[in-house]
Structure 1
Amino acid sequence: MPQWAEFNLKPDSLYFNDGQRRIDFVLVYEDESKKEHHKKKSFYKKQMRKRQAYESNLIKRGLQLEATRSVLDEKRTFVKVHAPWEVLCTYAEIMHIKLPLQPNDLKTRESAFSCIRRFFSVDENVIKPEQEFFTAPFENDRLSDFYIQDKDTFFNPATRSRIVHFILCRGEYAVRDNVKKFGINKLLDSGIYKAAFPLHDSRFNYQSEEPYCPNERYLLYREWAHPRNIFKLQPLDLVRKYYGEKIGIYFAWLGFYTQMLVLAAVVGLGCFLYGYLTKDNCTWSQEVCDSNIGGNIIMCPQCDQECTYWNLAITCESSKKLCIFDSFGTLVFAVFMGIWVTLFLEFWKRRQAELEYEWDTVEFLEQEEQVRPEYEARCDRVVINEITQQEEHVAYTACGKCVRMTLCTSAVLFWILLIIASVIGIIVYRLSVFLVFSATLPSINGTEAIQKYLTPQAATSVSASVISFIIIMILNMIYEKVAIMITDFELPRTQTDYENSLTTKMFLFQFVNYYSSCFYIAFFKGKFVGYPGDPVYWLGTYRNEECDPGGCLLELTTQLTIIMGGKAIWNNIQEVLLPWLKNLIGRCCAAARSEKVIPRWEQDYHLQPIGKLGLFYEYLEMVIQFGFVTLFVASFPLAPLLALINNMLEIRVDAWKITTQFRRMVPQKAQDIGAWQPIMQGIAILAVVTNAMIIAFTSDMIPRLVYYWSFSIPPYGTHSTYTMKGYINNTLSVFAISDFRNKSKPIAFPMFANLTTCRYRDFRYPPGHEHQYEHSIYYWHVIAAKLSFIIVMEHIIYFVKFIISYTIPDVSKKTKSKIKREKYLIQTLLHENPLKAMKKNMGSIADKIIKGADGTFRPKYD
């Protein structure tokens, strides 16, 4: 059992009471047996026996424990854990942890941007650069080959905590039916322990005066997490050293993504300004707003019976806004973003390769990653390993794995179908509420100003977007728990496999959840509506929605703005406000109960737990944003700018959150960003198609270009230029009111009593034509132009993407040299040198032995 010790009144101490042994981990439990009803005493005694068995097992494995009562709550106990040198060496070899061989002797070259980076970097006098080493997997028998200057600092605190956590995850606490039960996670889930965490090394807002305290948390808060550092580069080496490679690579990726967004944001802002400055020259918008053109065009109702005729001029304001987003700059920006996303992914691969080397995670998955304790506990089957041809224990056979995968896939498909059902519900809502707005808005007295800005289409779009966002958030909260349950049932072998499986499930769900409404507006709404005399009905009841005369692009922009903005606000409330309020309440309650000196471990206990998945949800949030920035950017060129502003805040918010509001996470290794990399590559490929289709089918750019080159030819012999005059009249077909069916015949207000025809958005022959209401030849010209545009744009961008991917190597020449140098040193120091020493010893022994006359060997000087 652990030794007991009273608190020594040193609030920032990181050591046992003897001041010598460092606290590598803290376990917390509460003794409820004295205050509970006698019926529950047996339950708590059983828990106590498990806890005692577990702690005894930890001591047998070499860990040293010291228990201390809480200052604030007598029934709470903190068990401090220390790993001695021998234990660290033993498990470092078992875990194949890479440790320093010798300092890096390769010359570093200054890059062309070093001066600029130095201006935005943290002062090196405050946070000193980490010394680079060549490393190799630790071997206890070759201790002398490793770069050990001080045993107390050879294993840094993050590595020590990682080793102790490895032991805690495999400590046994019970045996039932010849099956061993082990692992701190099981004990936490059952409530036997209330918490388990490594200590922060100091308070975040005050520098510790304790000896040998590096105050890295204080430095991270002051130079990284504080809002004033928003324009500074991140001290990634210190982040990695303090929190581990898994957290470090997330912030490295987020910082790199944010830096790349600067270029996209500048170009997107330029395209937006181009559209804004040229909107007054938008001929087709001028025609809509012209009282002699748009004011005299009466449009056909867009729903049955309840709707009436309406004047095209009421869409004047929306057509002006549309000119900003639906301009030639949109096409340029869509092509640019197709190339930008390739540059981002290729340069990130190079950056990731550099980090893999610098942070010793090269070949981590093959050499260091261990089996998950949850999988290891279920290994009750024996199979033959194909590579080693030896028996090994597994949790399930190939057939069992297929069954699990089938069940998990079925569950995921069910939830995706549930999302699609909710999307259909939103579509039905849009169709239903459009009738209400169409009947209500025009009939309200004195609403000219309202009608100028709030058309039935706009009112429907905004309300549906808000409801869609609320449903998205609700389904997210439910599905997160379901996805974790499904992945737990699937039982992946390693933590990387677990996270990749969960990542795929979560992203598939989020993809459908977030993007389905945008895909509907972009590619389905207004595309299959028929014409006033023969409309198409949804589910046989609801008439399909139509777009404004300017198209659905502005509605898609509205949808993106609401979802992106609402998502950012909601996430910040969840990530910042809730943890801050919980910690504030906890501090107030603690201060009210006691004015005693509170030790470091109890201060950390009252912080928020980080959760089992760490920053998984942060990745998910950013990749969903990445999808919005790339998939639908042709409709909203300001998306990269909004993402840039959000990400600059997101870096500091995430840094502030994990540094000040959460307990210190268990440091973990990670070779890369995992399954997020192929997901982003898939988004990049899909983005080319979606943006080409948005320009072709959602915007009005292709019909305008066809009209510009085909129907606006100046008279022969004149010096006039091509013009867009008459475009609106050309895009609106004519319908005879007498051809309305009784089912869809609208209410005729007195002002429309003498109306004989109305207009609708399509390219069809007019009434009286031999092919009346059939698509005209111009319609097929436009379709051919749209399809040609998609094919040409896709092939051009994909070709450029291929050239970029081919010319930019995934690993830079400098990094390759470092990797080769390290492999050479490992070969020399750990393999060739021992062989040479062995040969030398054998040679010296041979010199001292001679063969006698009788044929026997004896010492030379015998």
Structure 2
Amino acid sequence: MDSDTLISGNNVKEENGSSSNSTPGEHKSFTEFARDKLDSAGRELRRRLPIAGQIGAQLIYPRHLLLQSTPTHQADVVLIFPKGIPDGMLLWLLQKLRGSRPRLKVCVRHHASSHCSAFYITASDDVLLQTAEEMHLPKLLKPEFGGGYKEFTVRDMHCFQKSTSGGELLNSQERSALVKYVLEAARAEPGDEHALEPAMTLRPGQSIVPACVSRGVISSMFPLHDHAALDSLRKKWVKTFFSPQPLDEICEYFGVKIAMYFAWLGHYTQSLTVPAFVGVVFWIWIGTASDYWKDIAQVLFSLFNVLWACVYLETWKRYSNVLAYRWGTLDQRDELLVEPRPLFQGEMSVSPVTGRPEPHYPAWRRRVWRHTVSLPVMSLCLAVAAGATFAILRAQDWWENTIGYFNWIPRALLAIIIAIEEEAYVRIAKWLNDKENYRLETKYENHLIVKIALFQFVNSFMSLFYMAFYLQDMDKLKEQLAVLLITRQIIGNLKESALPYLIENLRLAKICSEVFGALSPSKVQTSEQLAELFEKEKTSEPPEMLINGEEKRRDSEPAVGQKVIHQAELESQLFKYAGTFGEYLEMLTQLGHVVLFSASFPLAAACAALNNAAEIRADAFKLCHVMQRPFAHRVATIGTWQHAMEAMVALSVLVNCALIGLSGPVHRLLPDATSAQTVLFIAALEHVVLISVVALRMAIPEIPAWLATEMAKVEFQRREAINAAHAPILSECTSGEDIRSRDVTPPTPRCDVIVTPDRKKINIGKIPEIPPFS
């Protein structure tokens, strides 16, 4: 035996002897005792099977590696470039970003693990405050100034909460959104057309960074995570299954748009408990009732589901308005005052509203394209999808009735064709939407929702309509609906969360292996050694090259003989969050399954409620553990998805009334009725339900009375605060130009230093004033 084996054998004997004479109580804690045992077992395993030590260490520690990585300071937004990008492009982009107004701080770094270059971008507090005023960012006022949200102005900075400094006033989500706004403001000038060729050709006035992201010159752009806030969300949101969602913390960290989605999903899931309970009762009752009562139950349950869906949508409107008021987005600015989306194309001209240069695109050209190209292409795609699905369903019936063997072949063919159609149609819909060239991001997304939701409706419900109205087979419809609800939800959750999490762990394990080198059996670190290594990396400050002329830290250089793993480098390997579009589309399809064919499968709402309870935590897990941090967006509602759900409810009235007429309850309940009388009865029932739906919408106001009272109260307090503070502030002004009328927020002295109530001075530099908003 060699010396290494003898030494390892002696170590094992010493460990076994010491462990046999000790108890868990003699150790500091049971956790440490168990960890020592696991380390001992791991060393023995590595002695017997060396490769196991490498694989185990690389797969166990990647998530620990992400959490314990060295924080990346002086960076709010990171731009990652693909490998092999020419240095000339990087230098040109660097020059453009450095020359932007207001000025950004740009740091160039090289990621050793991916061999990619990156720009780490931030801005000073003065620049961010100026940008917040330009973006009309709403912030909370102090109670003595009336409270509530008001668009931020530098001149009135002392009136806002946490206004001691710019660093306290703006959280990490707002800082990254402001830096992104400045990045998107950098536009190509005449003479820049060929600067990025052959990758892309720029047009004068085009926003440079978004165009580079869309064409792959910039592989990704993301804000960095705040580990303290993220860890708090993981504890309060991901790990607590039955606790309410911390919506305010979600809004503060991820922005209003994502928080609004989770608020809607939670409200929808909670509302589903009502039809779920009623559906279970009806399902039990139908199992023991006679045919006469089964028919009555089917009619009553169909009408109940339609009325429930209407009430649910109206209550969500009220709740969303409450949330929008709480998060400061209830009163959105006029569309003409909102900046155009970065990829909006047009000839540069001066805006007649703001007086600033921005692209202009004639509306008639958009309408011509939409009616002559988009509408015919969409209609053709929908017709092809419906025809292909119908043909395959007919072939499936023929196969089952004639051949009888390998019945899975036509089903598999249908699934493959649907997947191909969806992929092709999404590309076509995005191309059409890009050609329509909408000025605002909300308009662009709303029209894309219409295009894709229509196609998804045909793909998802064509088979159900075929069984319900062509075959008129309620048993087959019930079976198909149950299979779709259960299998789609399970596969969707696995595909959205579990699979990306596994792939990401493999990526991080690869980085761990590259940074720490090949882990031989004699060099595999224990958990204590890894923790000590991370602490050394945290405390060390290696040099860094800052292109703007300041010496900072360079992530790719080792610290005190150790290789460092920085936060930004690891987060660049995470998946990019695709937004809430796919999540809403999935839930819209589920709502259709619940309300369109509810009579055939009363347990549909119960299955949907159970799925959504897990969906909330799965989506939360995906955001907090798997994805890069997304940029925040401010919205007042869920947008066109609300209208899509209202259209689904209106359609459910027609479908359920038609099912009642075709499936037999009317004929059995009214055996003497003729066909004409049956049609008249169904039409009358349909009109009664539609009138009831309209009456419910009119009876339930969108803004609760208490919220209207609260809004009026805050406005009154703000006016009183303005009147109380008007005279003293006017006496401090040194220029007659600062005098304003009493119906606006009073200005502060025109100077380069803001004096807060506690007399602390904040240097904000010379920033051009913008009239305050009240």
The answer to whether 1:702 aligns with 2:666 is: yes
**Pairing partner for 2:566 from 599, 611, 617:** 599
**Pairing partner for 1:81 from 107, 118, 121:** 121
Q: Structure 1: how far apart are the matches of 2:397 and 2:216?
A: 51
The answer to whether 1:820 aligns with 2:712 is: yes
Other-structure match for 2:217: 192
Other-structure match for 2:306: 338
Report if aligned partners of 2:145, 2:721 keep a CA contact under 8 Å in 1: no
> Whose radius of gyration is greater, 1 or 2?
1
Q: Quick one: structure 1 residues 572 and 690, their matched pair in 2 at CA, closer, same or farther if it must change by over 3 Å? A: same
Q: Quick one: structure 1 residues 365 and 436, their matched pair in 2 at CA, closer, same or farther if it must change by over 3 Å? A: farther
Other-structure match for 1:581: 502
Q: Structure 2: how far apart are the matches of 1:339 and 1:181?
A: 49
**Pairing partner for 1:28 from 80, 84, 108:** 80
Letter in 1 for 2:656: N
Secondary structure, counterpart of 1:27 in structure 2 = strand
The structure carrying a bigger helix percent of its residues is 2
The answer to whether 1:219 aligns with 2:219 is: no
Report if aligned partners of 1:199, 1:601 keep a CA contact under 8 Å in 2: yes
Other-structure match for 1:176: 192
**Pairing partner for 2:644 from 673, 679, 692:** 679
- 1:727-806 matches, within 5 Å, as 781-806=673-698
Q: Structure 2: how far apart are the matches of 1:831 and 1:490?
A: 49
Q: Quick one: structure 1 residues 825 and 488, their matched pair in 2 at CA, closer, same or farther if it must change by over 3 Å? A: farther
Report if aligned partners of 2:205, 2:358 keep a CA contact under 8 Å in 1: no
Report if aligned partners of 1:346, 1:810 keep a CA contact under 8 Å in 2: yes
Report if aligned partners of 1:72, 1:594 keep a CA contact under 8 Å in 2: yes
Secondary structure, counterpart of 2:630 in structure 1 = coil
Other-structure match for 2:392: 426
Q: Structure 2: how far apart are the matches of 1:649 and 1:390?
A: 50
The answer to whether 1:150 aligns with 2:164 is: yes
Letter in 2 for 1:477: E
Letter in 1 for 2:489: A
Other-structure match for 2:102: 61
The answer to whether 1:139 aligns with 2:191 is: no
- 1:466-481 matches, within 5 Å, as 467-481=413-427
Q: Structure 2: how far apart are the matches of 1:100 and 1:93?
A: 14
CA apart distance, 1:200:
1.0
Secondary structure, counterpart of 1:665 in structure 2 = coil
CA apart distance, 1:168:
1.3
Report if aligned partners of 2:97, 2:183 keep a CA contact under 8 Å in 1: no
Secondary structure, counterpart of 2:635 in structure 1 = coil
Secondary structure, counterpart of 1:265 in structure 2 = helix
Other-structure match for 2:492: 571
CA apart distance, 1:843:
14
Other-structure match for 1:128: none
Secondary structure, counterpart of 2:121 in structure 1 = strand
Other-structure match for 1:510: 456
Secondary structure, counterpart of 1:224 in structure 2 = helix
Q: List per-residue Cα deviations over 1:608-629 (Å, max 9, x = no partner).
A: 1113xx1110011101111111
Report if aligned partners of 2:468, 2:474 keep a CA contact under 8 Å in 1: yes
Report if aligned partners of 1:14, 1:23 keep a CA contact under 8 Å in 2: no
Secondary structure, counterpart of 1:66 in structure 2 = strand
Q: Structure 2: how far apart are the matches of 1:48 and 1:597?
A: 25
Q: Structure 1: how far apart are the matches of 2:355 and 2:119?
A: 41
Secondary structure, counterpart of 1:136 in structure 2 = strand
Q: Quick one: structure 1 residues 682 and 61, their matched pair in 2 at CA, closer, same or farther if it must change by over 3 Å? A: same
Q: Quick one: structure 1 residues 834 and 90, their matched pair in 2 at CA, closer, same or farther if it must change by over 3 Å? A: farther
CA apart distance, 1:495:
0.8
Other-structure match for 1:110: none
CA apart distance, 1:56:
2.0
Percentage of pairs with the same residue: 26
Other-structure match for 1:130: none
Letter in 2 for 1:414: L
Q: Structure 1: how far apart are the matches of 2:356 and 2:724?
A: 32
CA apart distance, 1:82:
1.9
Q: Structure 2: how far apart are the matches of 1:500 and 1:163?
A: 24
Letter in 2 for 1:187: C
Q: Structure 2: how far apart are the matches of 1:165 and 1:476?
A: 32
Q: List per-residue Cα deviations over 1:390-449 (Å, max 9, x = no partner).
A: 898653223312222122222211211111221231243145325405xx69xxxxxxxx
**Pairing partner for 1:234 from 221, 230, 245:** 245
Other-structure match for 2:595: 630
Letter in 1 for 2:80: V
- Tell me the matched-pair count: 612
Q: List per-residue Cα deviations over 1:645-664 (Å, max 9, x = no partner).
A: 11111111111011100000
CA apart distance, 1:157:
1.0
Secondary structure, counterpart of 2:142 in structure 1 = strand
Q: Structure 2: how far apart are the matches of 1:674 and 1:346?
A: 14
CA apart distance, 1:190:
3.8
Q: Quick one: structure 1 residues 105 and 518, their matched pair in 2 at CA, closer, same or farther if it must change by over 3 Å? A: farther
User: 5+ unaligned residues in a row in structure 1: which ranges?
Assistant: 1-8, 17-21, 34-43, 107-132, 203-214, 284-322, 442-458, 526-550, 711-780, 845-862
Secondary structure, counterpart of 2:511 in structure 1 = helix
Report if aligned partners of 1:416, 1:512 keep a CA contact under 8 Å in 2: yes
The answer to whether 1:370 aligns with 2:291 is: no
Letter in 1 for 2:332: F
- 1:450-461 matches, within 5 Å, as none
Q: Structure 1: how far apart are the matches of 2:267 and 2:384?
A: 36
CA apart distance, 1:555:
1.6
CA apart distance, 1:14:
4.7
Secondary structure, counterpart of 2:599 in structure 1 = helix
Q: Structure 2: how far apart are the matches of 1:104 and 1:579?
A: 49
Q: List per-residue Cα deviations over 1:654-709 (Å, max 9, x = no partner).
A: 11011100000011111110101111111111111111111111x221222234xx
- 1:379-458 matches, within 5 Å, as 379-380=347-348, 394-406=359-371, 407-430=373-396, 432-433=398-399, 435-437=401-403
Secondary structure, counterpart of 1:197 in structure 2 = strand
Q: Structure 1: how far apart are the matches of 2:512 and 2:401?
A: 59
CA apart distance, 1:382:
7.3
Letter in 1 for 2:627: F
Q: Quick one: structure 1 residues 145 and 557, their matched pair in 2 at CA, closer, same or farther if it must change by over 3 Å? A: same
CA apart distance, 1:344:
0.2
Q: Quick one: structure 1 residues 272 and 603, their matched pair in 2 at CA, closer, same or farther if it must change by over 3 Å? A: same
Letter in 2 for 1:489: K
**Pairing partner for 2:585 from 620, 631, 646:** 620
- 1:226-305 matches, within 5 Å, as 226=239, 229-278=240-289, 281-282=290-291
User: 5+ unaligned residues in a row in structure 2: which ranges?
Assistant: 1-65, 194-202, 517-562, 737-774
Q: Structure 1: how far apart are the matches of 2:409 and 2:668?
A: 30
RMSD over aligned CA atoms reads: 3.1
Report if aligned partners of 2:350, 2:356 keep a CA contact under 8 Å in 1: yes
Q: Structure 2: how far apart are the matches of 1:389 and 1:142?
A: 22
Other-structure match for 2:322: 354
Report if aligned partners of 2:81, 2:117 keep a CA contact under 8 Å in 1: yes
TM-score (norm 2): 0.73
Letter in 1 for 2:341: R
CA apart distance, 1:81:
1.9
Other-structure match for 2:63: none
Secondary structure, counterpart of 1:81 in structure 2 = strand
Letter in 1 for 2:151: P
Q: List per-residue Cα deviations over 1:262-314 (Å, max 9, x = no partner).
A: 01100011111111123xx559xxxxxxxxxxxxxxxxxxxxxxxxxxxxxxx
Report if aligned partners of 2:81, 2:219 keep a CA contact under 8 Å in 1: yes
Q: Quick one: structure 1 residues 843 and 488, their matched pair in 2 at CA, closer, same or farther if it must change by over 3 Å? A: closer
